[in-house]
Structures are given as structure tokens and as C-alpha cells.
Structure 1
Amino acid sequence: MEGSEVQQKKNSMYKPSSPGVESTRVAARSSLVDSFRGCGLKGMRIVKEDLKKRILIPEYLRLAMRDSIRFKNPNAGQEHVGDLKEEVAPEAPMVVFVNSKSGGRHGTVLKGRLQELMGVEQVLDLSIVKPTEFVQYGLACLENLAALGDNCAKETREKIRVVVAGGDGTVGWVLGSLAQLYKQNRFPVPPVGIIPLGTGNDLSRSFGWGGSFPFAWKSAVKRSLNKAVTGPVCRLDSWHIVVSMPAGENMELPHSLKYTDECSLDQDLVVEGEWPEKSTCFEGVFYNYFSIGMDAKVAYGFHHLRNEKPYLAHGPIANKVIYSGYSCTQGWFCTPCISDPSLRGLKNIVRMYIRKVNCSEWEQIRVPSSVRAIVALNLHNYGSGRDPWGNLKPEYLEKRGFVEAHADDGLLEIFGLKQGWHASFVMVELISAKHIAQAAALRLEIRGGEWRNAYLQMDGEPWKQKMDKKYSTLVEIKRVPFQSLMISGE
């Protein structure tokens, strides 16, 4: 590759605002097709030693980063520098995060296979090393050495790529940690590839990494790493969520949500219900979807069932079977008594407001009376590879005032699901979801009344939101001002 081409490729990889970074249009695929594609049926043979040359970080830098992370000190690894020959950074220095608890037995076995291919120091077990520690100490170690004139460390830091072996939640955790680099003005931000180990793996599907762990996984590991070396970089929107509720309630939050003292809600919108003098706030970031209603209630019950009886689910297929069976018991498919307040539509408790692109004013959107779940979707993959928003025709888009959906367009696609039967037909693409809106920002006012709890989830992590009979709870979602960088596995 000529020098100009190399520089052009580097720029497209590491500048979030660069026009060379590809826009992402996502297509849903089936798990079975993805599994066979991951087997490497194209016949391309990857030589182990050639791959190692392309991704293996020089030993002194590996040890320096290891010690910096271990001792939580970015300068702790400088003793490994010593008298060096002129070291050269590899083509695509790589670090892999492995969730050894994902994918049944595969997580642990995959960790060992990766360590054979690229060394122990470049494979980080998330149960031991947190991604925030890698960012604050490992990458900082390279930056400090580069500042001292180490060109190899400088080039390694500029080229480094990250691969995550895990599910959507694990990928989101790593992306959120890397996002700290934007806030700290530490560039470039490493792009991220995926080895899917979770149940849904919608982020993985969206960027061409497949929907499940491949059958021929040993050869597929090399192919995945090779794709992470050569794959182009795409952009991904992320969304910041803030929930403000009356003070005094203690809640069990998923790990992706944290309590915060600063409740940065938009003050331009006046709520319809009463607003408490004191409130409690928590916040988080999601990449795929946010939902409220029956789908979140089913997910919440399933997660608790799986935690209480872990022997019921040993892998993605078992999880899906149990999830489907559990959803039939929750009133999602059959509503025994429509007069029961807990089974009425969301319009009884939710007021929805949106802000459109380049618009500063909030607009109230009517919640359809039949809707029992509302989903705000960022990707085209939802529920293990389905596309409930659909590939809409230009005439329909124009009629509704919509635009074609992309993962980096700054918009959420908001749709409704009426009940389990409707959701099932939507998931197999026999009918469409109830299209509600496209929005650059979303606000929900939840008013309890006779309802005691609402159920919410984001990126597969559900929680039970307590509601007050008198005061409103507010949920506000806005796009994070910078985008995450994803490596395309296509």
C-alpha cells in the first residue's frame, strides 16, 4: 500500500468526524446463517505466525502496560523500557477483552485460545481487569512513554484496536469506558470489534460480526482477529438517559445505571403532573434500545428467574426457550382482565414528548391506546436480529415525515408493541410495529395513579421503576455529542 493510502486509511480509522468513516446501514440476519458464515466457508486460510506479526505488541510495551494496570499507576511499567533496539509497532496492535462468563463454556476456552495467538498480556479477562483500568492506566502508559520520545509506543497508541468477546452488555461496557477518552481529549479513540458470546448479540449483528458463536470456533477466532485488523471503521450513536424520581425511594439498578447528584434535565418542558421538591436521579448510556412496558416486565422477570435458578439456562438457545415460555405466563399474550389497572395500555401512565432534529422545542406525541410496550431503537437489530422498524418505502417515509434509519444519524426510531401476539408477528416480519416517531431527543413523564411500578430496560438490562401516586417520574434521553467507533466485520 502506498504511503498516501496508509495515511488516508489511518485518518478514516481514528477521526470521528472524518468523512472517511463509513455510515452504518444495518441489516438483520438469522443466527443460523451468521453461524455458518463465521465458520469461514470462504476458504481463506490465515497463517498463525503472519497474524501474530500484525497484532502482537512488542514485549516491553506489553509488560509495561500490564504493570501499569496491575499497580494502577501509568508510570509503573517504565522499568521495562531499559536499553532497547529500535522496536517497530505492528500493523494493528490489538487488545481483546474477554467476558469469561459469557457463552457457557466458550468464554473460558476462548480466552485460552486467544492467549495462544497473541500473548497473555493482550488478553484481558473482564473479571480481573476492568475496561476503565485499561483506559486510565494501560493507554496512559503508552501515552507517557510516547511523551518521553518512544516512537514505538507512540505508534502503538495511535494504531491500537480493541476486540470484545462477549454479549451486547459487555460491548457497551467497553464502549462506555473508551468514551472517557473523548471527555479527556485523549485521541485517537480505539475502534472496537466483536466476537459474539451473548444471547441476543444485536450490536454484533449490526456491524457484521455475526449473531452467535461459530461452530468451527477455533478457525473462526483467527478470522475474527484478521477482520479486526483489516475492517473499516463505522460510527455508532450512543444515548444518555437520565431518570428523575421523587426522593426517598431505594431501587435496585442494573450495573449500567448509576446514581448521580447532578440531574441535568431540560428545563424548557413543563410537566403535566406535580413535581416533587426533592428528587433522586440516576443515569446511564445505551447503544441499541430503551423500552418501557410489558416487554421490559417479561425481561425483568426472566432475569430474576435465571438468577434464582441458574441451572435452567446454560446457553443462548436454552435462554431463548425459557424466555419464550416465561413470557406466556406474564399476561403479555393473554390479558385475563382488562379492567385490572396493571394490564391497561401505557397511555394511562405515560406522557411522551420528542424533539426533532435542529429543533429546540418539545412536541407532545400521543401514545396509541393499544400500545403496551414502547421501544426507542438506535440499531436495526432488536430481539436477536429482528428489524421491527422495517425497511420502509420512500413514499411512506415522506408521508410520515421520516427519514431512512441509520445507526449514526442522530435519531431514535420509536415504535409500539400491542401485545405478545403482535410482538411475535412483528418479530417474524409478518406485520410491522406501530410506528410512532423519529426523534433526536425523547422525554417520558410517568404518572403512577393506580400503578405501583413501571418496568423499563435498556440494551437488555431491565429494572423495576417505582412510581408515586402523586408525583411524576421523568425519563429523558439525548444523544451523546460524540460517536463510538466500531470495526466492521463485513
Structure 2
Amino acid sequence: MGDCNSETNRLLKEFYVPNYILDPESEREPISYTPGCPVIVFINSRSGGQLGGDLLVTYRQLLNELQVFDLKEEAPDKVLHRLYSNLEKLKSDGDNLAAEIQKRLRLIVAGGDGTASWLLGVVCDLKLAHPPPVATVPLGTGNNLPFSFGWGKKNPGTDRQSVKSFLEQVTKATEMKIDSWHIVMRMRIPKEGSCDPIAPPELPHSLHAFQRVPNADSLNRNGYCTFRGGFWNYFSMGMDAQVSYAFHSERKLHPEKFKNQLVNQSTYAKLGLTQGWFLPSLPQTSSRNIAQLATIKVMRKPGYWEKLNISHSIRSIICLNLPSFSGGFNPWGTPSKRKARDRDLTAPFVDDGLIEIVGFRDAWQGLLLLTPKGHGTRLAQARGVRFEFHKGAAEHTYMRLDGEPWKQPLPADDDKVVVEISHLGQVNMLATLNCRSKSINDPSSPSSGQQDEDSSSGESEEDTEAKRKFGAADTFKLPTAYE
């Protein structure tokens, strides 16, 4: 656990996880104490330029090296599958320490929003009786997830004192439930070329691109590629996703230029200019017009879909779960009492089973978010959203899921590409006193009593079973004996 003074040793004991719990092949250690806040740490060493690698070194110096994982070397599904399988085995052998560690365990993930979403998806896939809550270290460009729960949005210090301060915050953090959203994307397999319309590396981790929905899955259709995943912050499409895609593409080509958060944000803004995000919306082409690209339907009441009519000036749509987008802005804002009454709109709660749908004409409208009561064009709050893309003027559009963008091919014939979003369940996050997210169950939250009494999703038993996992990989599921 490194060379530390006695006070530091005492503190770090609270987070320690013994070798034999992490590695089934290790011999049991005689531990005379029970850690109060055992943690498993996942770090994306590629995030934050050099910061990810530096943070990895510091955590491994302070904690047991085996409880700190580099996501470049090992995926979180394999780590957690191995850990929980071993914990269940040890518990069945009467190991009380293993039982306590499992009960108190907290996860820390350091990376961008896409990295955090990847881990959340894996935790959901495991279907644990008591899933561990997750703390997020801001190590990306936007850092919307950490900012929403009070962990800040600036890249953290990587020295020992900074890491110890963060660990102390983890011990004091409170658990907060947030909605998780299921997303299904279906497109026809092309008649020519690759059987994958999008190369797997181009799709976000949280859409589980490397294994499509298997043939036995009820969502599978012959002749189609179906992807299934989940998100916790947002799904967006249009110009904002196009700018994000340009940024990520540039970073892949020249990673040496993206080692500073301020430089990254400046580059992002410049790309917004070159991609036309700041140009007036009136002369825009149909390829930038959401209304001509897709038919959008929303489910306001369980089981009832209705078409959402949107202005032809809208060039970007965001389906938002948390009150943070594009580095900390809240596009939904808080509707006035009149709008809440006339349009049946509520404040943006993170656990009410509703997703906020916001439109933007251009980046100039986005700058309104800098004003005290600024917001985008509020389109709807819904329990589900469906995008249907038909053959049109554009060959592709751009989409983004929790910070990870991709270039989405659109139909070339009479077929359609369908993206459907629906409520799945909830996950546990760790929140500090500076948390910006609001719970509908918190009496101190504004308008906390406005949730409909009927909060069911209107899904059949078959639909629920089909969506019991975000991922398509069977390895994400615990062995039957340990469920």
C-alpha cells in the first residue's frame, strides 16, 4: 500500500481490498479489520492526455495494485464478473469479510462520459441483488456525468494528496438513484460490402458494438443488424454530434495535440465553426434539418405513441436524462408555472421515468444556456422516443451517446433505420453535497410532487425479458449458481 505515514495508512485501510478476494488463485490473508469503504478503481489511461496514466500510477501506489484496473488492459465486465463470482464463492464458504466487502463496495471510474457509461452498463448487465454505487472522476472533455453529481468538471490533480482527498469524498458521498435508458438501433444489412454497416470501433462501448443482438434474441430480425445498449445522460443527433465526431476523429489522428483540457475545449469550439454549427439556420440544407431526416414519435402515456412535430429550423435534438450537457449546461432549465400548466412540463428529475427532449437551431441558440434562465427549445417530456429514418437527401447523419459519437448511415432505398429509446430501470450513483441532479422523491426539490401516479412503462413481460441486459454478450451475466 506504499510508504505512507501512520495517519495515511489508517485512512487507506478503509479502502483496501485483499488479494484473495480480487484473485481466486491467491491464498487467504489474515485480515484483522473490516474496511469501511472498500473500492474497485477503473481508470481509462487514455483519457485526459497524460493525466490518465499519472492517475493510474498514484492509485496503485496508495491502494492494493490489484484493485486498480487500467481499462486499456482489461474490460470492466471481465473484472466484475470474476470479482463477484469469487465473492459469492467465498460467502458460501462462510467468509464474513467477503460478505462485508460485497455489502460496502463502491466503484470509482476515471475517464470521459463514455467510459463511465461503459462501466454503468456492465454493472446493469450483471443483475446484482445489491449493485455497487459509482463515483465518477472527471477525466474527459465534457465531464457531464461527474458534474451532475457534484464531482466537478475540471480534470483532477494526480498527486497523492489529490487522490486521498477524492477518496475521502467517496466515503462521505450519498447514494442516489437515476433512471437508465434502453436504446435499440436496427438497420438492414447492406446488399454489398461488409455485413456491419458501421465498423465496430466506430460505435460507442455502451451500444455493445462488438456483439450484435444474437439470433435467439427476440429483437433479432432476419436481414437486419440490431444493436442494443443503454445510456444515462443523453442521446443526441444532428449538428452537435457532427461537431463531436469531428473532434474525436481529429483526436484519433493527432493524439499528441490533445493533452490539455483547455486546448481540447478550444479545439472543440473551433470545429463548431468549421462544421457550420454557428452558421444561420435559414439557408441550411436538408441534410442538417432534423424534420426532413426523421419522423419522431414520443410516448407520453404508457402504450400510446404520437408524432412529435418539430420546426424545420431544428438542427440538433437531445434526449436528456441529467441536468448537464456540453460541459455543464442544462438545456431543459426549469419551466415556469405557466408552461408547466399549459404544456404539462416539469422540472428535470433524474428518477421520474421521463426523458427531456430538447431541440437547437444552431450554436448561437446554445449560447443562451450561458444566461441565468437560458434553455433550448423544449419539445417534450416522454417515457419513450422513437426515431424513424427514411430515404432522403442525406446518406448519413451523426449520433452521440453519452459523449461517444458515430457516423450513422441512412437508408438508400425504401427501408428505414429505427432508433428507439425506452425506460429500463435505475442505477446507483454516488453524489456529493454539490450534486446538481434532483430527485422526485426529495422534498427539497422544486415541483417534486408532479410525478404521475402511474409510473409503469406499459411494457409486456416479453418486452421486459428482452431488455433484461444492456449488452449482447452472455459473459456479462453472472453464472446461474451465483445469481
Aligned-partner Cα distance in 2 for 1:119–1:86 = 14
Contact 1:240 1:477 in 2 (8 A): yes
In the aligned structure 1, how far is the partner of 2:257 from the partner of 2:432?
33
- Cα deviation for residue 211 of structure 1 reads 0.8
AA at the equivalent of 2:112: G
What is aligned with 1:356?
A: 300
The whole-number CA distance in structure 2 between the counterparts of 1:264 and 1:297 is: 32
1:352 alignment partner AA: I
Shift, 1:208, TM fit: 0.8
Residue in structure 2 matched with residue 64 of structure 1 by the alignment: 20
1:440 deviates by 0.8
Output the amino acid matched with 1:353.
K
* Matching of residues 396-475 of structure 1 within 5 Å: 396-428=339-371, 431-469=374-412, 470-475=414-419
Q: What is the aligned partner in structure 1 of residue 213 from structure 2?
A: 260
The reply on whether 1:171 has 2:116 as its aligned counterpart is: yes
* CA apart distance, 1:339: 6.9
Q: Cα distance, 1:430 vs. partner?
A: 6.7
> What residue identity is the alignment partner of 2:303?
S
* 3-state SS, counterpart of residue 89 of structure 1: coil
Query: AA paired with 1:474?
Result: V
Counterpart secondary structure, 2:116? helix
Q: How much has 1:423 moved relative to structure 2?
A: 2.0
Structure 2 partner of 1:305:
250
TM-score, with normalisation over the residues of structure 2?
0.81
Using the alignment, how far apart are the partners of 2:311 and 2:261 within structure 1? 34
**Range with bigger deviation, 114-123 or 190-199:** 114-123
* Partner amino acid, structure 2, of 1:362: W
- Give 1:246 deviation, angstroms: 2.0
Q: Does 1:251 align with 2:189?
A: no
Q: CA deviation at 1:449?
A: 1.7
Q: Which residue matches 1:318?
A: 263
Match of 1:38 in 2: none
CA distance in 2, matches of 1:50, 1:393: 50
- Counterpart secondary structure, 1:366: coil
Deviation at 1:180, TM superposition (A): 2.2
Match of 2:324 in 1: 381
Structure 1 segments unaligned to the other structure (5+ residues)? 1-45, 69-75, 267-275
Long gaps (5+) in structure 2: 1-5, 191-195, 434-483
Deviation at 1:177, TM superposition (A): 1.2
Which among 223, 226, 242 is matched to residue 165 of structure 2? 223
Q: Distance in 2 between matches of 1:260 and 1:303?
A: 26
Task: Please say if residues 246 and 473 of structure 1, whose CA atoms lie closer than 8 Å, have aligned partners that are also in contact.
Answer: yes
- Name the aligned partner's letter for residue 48 of structure 1: T
Indicate conservation of the 8 Å contact 1:352/1:365, yes or no: yes
Q: How does 1:271-290 map to 2 (within 5 A)?
A: 278-290=223-235
Q: CA offsets per residue over residues 101-150 of structure 1, 9 Å max, x none?
A: 21222222222222232221221221223211221111211211110111
Structure 1 residue 475, shift from structure 2 partner: 0.7
How far apart, in 2, do the equivalents of 1:231 and 1:436 lie? Answer: 34
Once the two structures are TM-superposed, the CA of residue 87 in structure 1 deviates from its matched residue by 4.0
- Measure, in 1, the Cα distance between the counterparts of 2:224 and 2:352: 33
What is the CA–CA distance in structure 1 between the aligned matches of 2:367 and 2:222, rounded to whole Å?
43
Percent same amino acid at aligned positions? 32
| Distance in 2 separating the partners of 1:254 and 1:382 | 20
Q: Output the aligned Cα RMSD.
A: 2.4
Change (3 A) 1:337 1:484: closer
**What is the Cα deviation at residue 456 of structure 1?**
1.1
Alpha-carbon deviation of 1:85? 4.9
Within 2, Cα distance between the matches of 1:160 and 1:67? Answer: 16
The CA deviation at 1:219 is 2.5
Q: Helix, strand or coil for the counterpart of 1:238?
A: strand
**What's the counterpart of residue 22 of structure 1?**
none
Tell me the equivalent position of 1:19. none
- How far apart in 1 are the matches of 2:335 and 2:293? 30
Range with bigger deviation, 375-384 or 276-285 = 276-285
CA deviation vs aligned residue, 1:169-192 (integer Å, no higher than 9, x gap): 11111111111232xxx3221111
Distance 1:339 1:194, change over 3 A: closer
